[in-house]
Structure 1
């Protein structure tokens, strides 16, 4: 029972006790008063009757007539005339009159009075005495009416007092509820301050809570600033602020292995030629300005286009990854034109070579850089600002080319028809890869969807068909099928499973409602289901992600973010997102074993996310040394090739 309810019941009990006490005291007082008045009435009536009887000269018949006339008024229970020797001369008696008051009240408040007695005389001779006893029922009737009126009045006052007490307690409770809400908001990362209430004791409580919130907010802000500093130290080049070679390669490898995105992309390498000679001829400050100019030109793309990656590979080389087909050559030429205008003003003899390639994403990182380096080498054979472009062969048949964004509309239609048919016939299955904790236990199974696009063909991973599914707005249907398969698998073996939800599905107005209905039909399996969305969902569609959490988390579904990295800093209200866990991207955690700055950044991310009561996992891990370094950072779990080798896959 809550404290406010206990106080309210205590106040109500005190009011009721006061009412009952007041009624009891008033009843006793009124009873005593009526009893005294009835006794006086008996005595007065006896004296008046005795005076009338004494004037009859001792005539017995007249005296009897007077006694009968007095008795017939109906207010008397007994009227008697006794002779001087005490012998009864005449008596009129009526049965006891029933009171209008309840029997229990009559028995609880007895009114017992003695009859009034007066002496009779005829001249100087005593002729006896008269006794008069009135009905006590009239007194009980009046006592009952008095008590009921008083009880009604006191009850009304008691109700008013109870309402007043409730309102007063509600007024006191509001600041306490605000303090509780403030404490819960702090747990979620929301640092709001309260207005001071009028109650002095609650003012002190509110002041203490506000001071605590202010201090915690300052601690979080300091922690965020420290985390940003660690990120810059671990991932960024100190001169240009761009990603270091190590971090850029990790980001690019992670981007190439993800399911979402087009099947082809572009890579542009830029080189400030003859860096050592420029340092000697122009001086380091001028060369640094040239490098900054070149870096700003490259950074403009990642800053404006989500998914682009930029980095400084070494002293003179920069790289730009473009997550779209058929734009590498155009982008490289635009960079060359811009640098041709801006760099000569810093000194004579500055030249930039650019090599651009457009390749399928399934090629290895070494193949990407091999082709890009070859294009860069060819461009260095010419002077000035030269671009060399190489377009690799299309991966797969004509249908694949259409899916990758080529000009064949026929290919796109074929692939779209194949996806729709596979969804209609449920030609799909879930792969299973374990997410392991420190003890090697499976936290849950990661289950990416594979589609059998041709009736007798192989099951294709999402990298083959997801880009066209996004373009054709089929991701909602794909994700609903994946969730359905996961719920069925959970019902069979009871294992926890997690499926990926495309951020594009959130843009489908009916997706969340359909997903909730699907999950609602399997309440037991829903408690073992997890849904993962890419970090971009929180950055671009936060309100939709928030609504999804409100709809699904009460049903037991767990929500997580995957591919999480520096983009988390752009989510202002991450504490409100209703998440259960976050998976750090491979580009953030790879190499933590040999890089103290990177390990420090991971620990900072862990502290920040743990303060929001989130589990923190890592994805895409290959190296056992990196895994051990992450265990030392107190990570909750890992997934990737290393975990698959340890825990197996289906």
Structure 2
């Protein structure tokens, strides 16, 4: 019960006590006053009547006496008048039954009124001729009492209503600072740091508000300190200080992790970009000019790769940049290389380099198993060939023969995707997310979409989604994936939560958003809780739209998660406003975990600490061994996911709970 209600109840009870006491005292005083009046009145009546009938009693004219008594009895309001002789024998008697009209009987029974009576001697000359007894009727007293009670109750009720209204308004005004403190405390629980600038005048409330402000500032400083420590560790260990991209160490970790998770028939590409004339630019215009060129190239690379969520982009050394796209087709390599080469031509027009020949690109594609050294060697050979093609040229080489099953060219891709959508040739694979507690229970299934080609071979989402982004088909694919995913009865699989990857581009489609909100609201009671996953890079790039989307689906009982957490060098403060249900630490950091105390271990612990401080769960992806799982358990992560616990398998054949 709120303090406001308690104070209102206390005020009401206090008023009731006051009212009851005052009401009783007023009733008692009124009853005493009326009783005294009745006693005075009945005594005066007896005396005056005795004097009036004395001459007639002396003449023994009882007829006149009786007439006088009857006249008085009829005019007054008496219960009884009697005339007795000196020996006490009643000679004349008039009585009236006690019936109190217009007064409830319960009131008559509850409030007894003493009925007074008076006796006066009647003289006959010098001798006593008899006595008169007059007994008052209580009806008048009860009527007066009842009228007083009604008027008094109405008055007190009016006072009570006014008092309650005034007390309610007054208490709301007085407790307004307390309500502000409550909102501040709730915001602090949500890890929102609100400081009250306006202090209340009440001394006690002012002290409370000042204490809350101090605590809020302190908690905010603690979070910012944790975030700064984690960001600093990431920058020192994994970030290039000039371009703010990843360094060679992070690039190698990401590529090796992605190659390690791919199947034997996996595909992808590595692009090596080399900037020319960097040393000469540094010598002629200074190191700052060289740094500006590197930063400009880093910016254009990031803008050219925004559609690819799983991209590894780093500055390797000097003027060399590395780009790795797992599950990308050779067609994608040509499209990306063409776009980057065109961007390099635009940089040349800005005259920030010594020559128009900014750089060349070597693209190495692979189909099947390969290694990072092999990819780098092939990309370097392709780069050497590109040097013969003129300024800002590019060349593509294949590590193995390129698959003939993939669509070739953009129109072929579009036709293949449109046919797949029309025929609903989308299948779902599932991989479990395992809790870090005792028994390693399955807590969530992550679903991966694949398109079945006409020859029966499957294409992973990472392979066709970039193409779908360019062809404006991504929202149609996301819609079909969600529809297919939520047809399944997950209770038989023993899970209540599923994760579905969603493209931020779909959120820009008003029709898709409207459909999705209506679809989620119409789900039956037994439907699973859905977490829509976005890559950290996409979340930072589309922060406002994803925040709005998260608020809408949380109203339906669902949530969001962030994938590849730590791959993007973003400030961690955005987590406070977005507040996802969980984040997944990128497999590049998981892959570096070992038994010793290394940078990756410290960084994972710092990321975990920052996320937990704002009530966000942490999941490690890419767990491949018992040793990694043991280290992650020590680091107090909430859950793990990876081949160590099981590879993705078709959702239709996922093991059921018996």
Bin of the TM-score, shorter chain as denominator length: 0.7 to 0.9
**Residue 365 and residue 418 in structure 1: after superposition, are their counterparts in 2 closer, same or farther (change >3 A)?**
farther
Q: Distance in 2 between matches of 1:573 and 1:351?
A: 39
Q: Among residues 214, 219, 222, which one is paired with 2:222 in the alignment?
A: 219
**Residue 492 and residue 522 in structure 1: after superposition, are their counterparts in 2 closer, same or farther (change >3 A)?**
farther
Q: Distance in 2 between matches of 1:627 and 1:209?
A: 40
Superposed, which structure 2 residues align to 1:199-598 within 5 Å? 199-238=202-241, 241-251=244-254, 267-270=271-274, 288=287, 292-302=291-301, 304=303, 306=306, 310-315=313-318, 317-319=320-322, 325-329=334-338, 331-332=340-341, 335=344, 342=352, 354-357=360-363, 359=365, 366=372, 368-378=375-385, 387-392=392-397, 400-402=407-409, 406=410, 409=411, 411-423=412-424, 427-438=425-436, 440-454=440-454, 457-487=456-486, 488-496=488-496, 497-553=498-554, 555-565=556-566, 567=568, 569=570, 573-593=574-594, 596-598=598-600
1:185 aligned residue: 187
Q: Distance in 1 between matches of 2:206 and 2:367?
A: 62
Cα distance, 1:161 vs structure 2? 2.0
**Residue 293 and residue 134 in structure 1: after superposition, are their counterparts in 2 closer, same or farther (change >3 A)?**
closer
Cα displacement string for residues 309-363 of structure 1 (whole angstroms, at most 9, x for unaligned residues): 6533235634456987535256347648857955559xxxx99863333758989
The size of the alignment, in residue pairs, is 626
Unaligned runs of 5+ in 1: none
1:5 aligned residue: 5
Q: Is the Cα–Cα contact under 8 Å of residues 447 and 498 in structure 1 kept in the other structure?
A: yes
Cα displacement string for residues 486-540 of structure 1 (whole angstroms, at most 9, x for unaligned residues): 3314043333432222222222324345334444454454345433222245324
Cα distance, 1:251 vs structure 2? 4.6
**Residue 417 and residue 484 in structure 1: after superposition, are their counterparts in 2 closer, same or farther (change >3 A)?**
closer
Cα distance, 1:140 vs structure 2? 0.3
Cα displacement string for residues 123-142 of structure 1 (whole angstroms, at most 9, x for unaligned residues): 43332221222211111010
**Equivalent residue of 1:457, what SS?**
coil
Cα displacement string for residues 22-66 of structure 1 (whole angstroms, at most 9, x for unaligned residues): 111111111111111111110111122222212445332222211
Q: Among residues 70, 76, 79, which one is paired with 1:77 in the alignment?
A: 79
Cα displacement string for residues 556-590 of structure 1 (whole angstroms, at most 9, x for unaligned residues): 43431112225484575533435211112234444
**Residue 481 and residue 647 in structure 1: after superposition, are their counterparts in 2 closer, same or farther (change >3 A)?**
closer
Q: Distance in 1 between matches of 2:129 and 2:76?
A: 26
Q: Distance in 2 between matches of 1:579 and 1:97?
A: 80
Cα distance, 1:160 vs structure 2? 1.9
Cα distance, 1:111 vs structure 2? 1.4
Q: Distance in 1 between matches of 2:123 and 2:413?
A: 135
2:328 aligned residue: none
Q: Distance in 1 between matches of 2:544 and 2:380?
A: 43
Q: Distance in 2 between matches of 1:329 and 1:429?
A: 32
**Equivalent residue of 1:447, what SS?**
strand
Q: Among residues 621, 639, 642, which one is paired with 1:640 in the alignment?
A: 642
**Residue 485 and residue 328 in structure 1: after superposition, are their counterparts in 2 closer, same or farther (change >3 A)?**
closer
Q: Distance in 2 between matches of 1:44 and 1:325?
A: 126
Q: Distance in 2 between matches of 1:250 and 1:378?
A: 28
**Equivalent residue of 1:190, what SS?**
coil
**Residue 645 and residue 479 in structure 1: after superposition, are their counterparts in 2 closer, same or farther (change >3 A)?**
closer
**Residue 35 and residue 122 in structure 1: after superposition, are their counterparts in 2 closer, same or farther (change >3 A)?**
same
Superposed, which structure 2 residues align to 1:36-185 within 5 Å? 36-56=36-56, 58=59, 59-185=61-187
**Greater Cα offset, 469-478 or 493-502:** 469-478
**Greater Cα offset, 526-535 or 27-36:** 526-535
Q: Distance in 1 between matches of 2:148 and 2:360?
A: 107
Cα displacement string for residues 429-458 of structure 1 (whole angstroms, at most 9, x for unaligned residues): 32122223446443322221223343x633
**Equivalent residue of 2:592, what SS?**
coil
Q: Distance in 2 between matches of 1:98 and 1:324?
A: 108
**Residue 112 and residue 597 in structure 1: after superposition, are their counterparts in 2 closer, same or farther (change >3 A)?**
same
Cα distance, 1:482 vs structure 2? 3.0
Q: Is the Cα–Cα contact under 8 Å of residues 447 and 499 in structure 2 kept in the other structure?
A: yes
Cα distance, 1:291 vs structure 2? 5.1
Cα distance, 1:118 vs structure 2? 1.9
Q: Is the Cα–Cα contact under 8 Å of residues 266 and 327 in structure 1 kept in the other structure?
A: no
Cα displacement string for residues 52-98 of structure 1 (whole angstroms, at most 9, x for unaligned residues): 21244533222221111111115122111122222212111222232
Cα distance, 1:154 vs structure 2? 1.1
Q: Is the Cα–Cα contact under 8 Å of residues 442 and 647 in structure 1 kept in the other structure?
A: no
**Equivalent residue of 1:448, what SS?**
strand
Q: Is the Cα–Cα contact under 8 Å of residues 529 and 557 in structure 2 kept in the other structure?
A: yes
Q: Is the Cα–Cα contact under 8 Å of residues 250 and 587 in structure 1 kept in the other structure?
A: yes
Q: Is the Cα–Cα contact under 8 Å of residues 266 and 359 in structure 1 kept in the other structure?
A: yes
**Residue 164 and residue 483 in structure 1: after superposition, are their counterparts in 2 closer, same or farther (change >3 A)?**
same
Cα distance, 1:595 vs structure 2? 8.0
Q: Distance in 2 between matches of 1:555 and 1:502?
A: 20
Cα distance, 1:104 vs structure 2? 1.3
**Equivalent residue of 1:431, what SS?**
strand
**Residue 534 and residue 85 in structure 1: after superposition, are their counterparts in 2 closer, same or farther (change >3 A)?**
same
**Equivalent residue of 1:644, what SS?**
coil
Unaligned runs of 5+ in 2: 326-331
Cα distance, 1:120 vs structure 2? 1.7
**Equivalent residue of 2:383, what SS?**
helix
